[in-house]
Amino acid sequence: MTTPRFRCTALRRSGATEVRIVQAVSADAARERLIAAGLEPDSIEALGPSLIDGLSGRDWKLRHYLPTFSMPRRPAMLAIGLLASMPFTVAVGSWSLATLAATQNERLANASASSRIGRPFLSDSARRDLAGRMSRRTVSEIAARLFAVLPQNASINGVSSDADGRLKIEIDTPDPDRLRIALAVDPLLTTLSEEGQLRTDDGAIRVTLRGAAM
């Protein structure tokens, strides 16, 4: 609570007017203070509180100006409890789901095994393998192509195809150059590469050719 202030106007002996602001509990007390100071007040007017008075009267602590939060005690405890129990929840959940998946897996395997009995079945790898075997060039096609271009004095010692379809052909001929020219006529046989030459007991030259998978 601030002390009231008064604006007092006094007339000096010299004739000049003097204005003073006096803090006093009442107008009479202000008049008495001026008389005691040797002045004769003409008028005394009460003044309202000044800006500084207004500011000085406040409590300027920061906390009064910050927003305040208030959380109910029970939900807060509940949230903390939930967070703390999360690892347990995850552990129980993951183990339960894993057990469920294992059971489903076993059931599916049993059902699949029982359905295969007496029925045709191909796994993916077996299907790929069989598809490869069924789509290769036939033995008769390869033999027909060979016989079609083989020079008259040449003969086939052996033809084979491995599991991957790679060809190996052995041809006995007295003239390997003529054989090479003859094979170049066929687009399939021209892809074969010569692996080596070997002289046989009857004086012919055995030319070994190999080809990529077909």
Partner 1 sequence: MLALYLSHIGLMRLDRERAALALARQGAQSESRPLTHLAGRGGAWREGSRDIAAGAIRLRLLEAAVDRRLLVERIAIEPAGQDATAAIIARVTVSGPEAAVVRYVADIERGRPLVRFADWQLRRSAAGDGTVRFDGHAASIWAGR
**Residues forming the site for partner 1 (CB under 8 A):** 87-88, 90-95, 97-98, 101-102, 104-105, 108-109, 112, 115-116, 118-127, 129-131, 133-134, 136, 138-140, 143-144, 147, 155-163, 165
- Rounded Cα distance between 211 and 138, Å, is 15
Q: Which is nearer to partner 1, 30 or 172 (CB)?
A: 172
- Rounded Cα distance between 122 and 116, Å, is 10
Instruction: Name the β-bridge partners of 199.
Output: 205
3-state SS, residue 214? coil
Handedness of CA 22, 26, 27, 31 (dihedral sign): negative
Q: Which is nearer to partner 1, 50 or 89 (CB)?
A: 89
For the bound state, the minimum distance from the C-beta of residue 213 to partner 1, rounded and expressed in Å, comes to: 11
Handedness of CA 9, 12, 17, 21 (dihedral sign): negative
Query: CA-CA distances (angstroms) from residue 191 to 2, 140, 162, 171, 201?
Result: 114, 18, 17, 16, 29
User: What six digits make up the tokens of 180?
Assistant: 């090479």
Q: Which is nearer to partner 1, 7 or 145 (CB)?
A: 145
Q: Which is nearer to partner 1, 8 or 154 (CB)?
A: 154
For the bound state, the minimum distance from the C-beta of residue 149 to partner 1, rounded and expressed in Å, comes to: 15
Q: Which is nearer to partner 1, 12 or 127 (CB)?
A: 127
Residue type, 134: M
- Check if the beta carbon of residue 159 is closer than 8 Å to that of residue 145: no
For the bound state, the minimum distance from the C-beta of residue 86 to partner 1, rounded and expressed in Å, comes to: 9
For the bound state, the minimum distance from the C-beta of residue 187 to partner 1, rounded and expressed in Å, comes to: 21
For the bound state, the minimum distance from the C-beta of residue 155 to partner 1, rounded and expressed in Å, comes to: 8
For the bound state, the minimum distance from the C-beta of residue 95 to partner 1, rounded and expressed in Å, comes to: 4
- Rounded Cα distance between 201 and 152, Å, is 20
Q: Which is nearer to partner 1, 127 or 178 (CB)?
A: 127
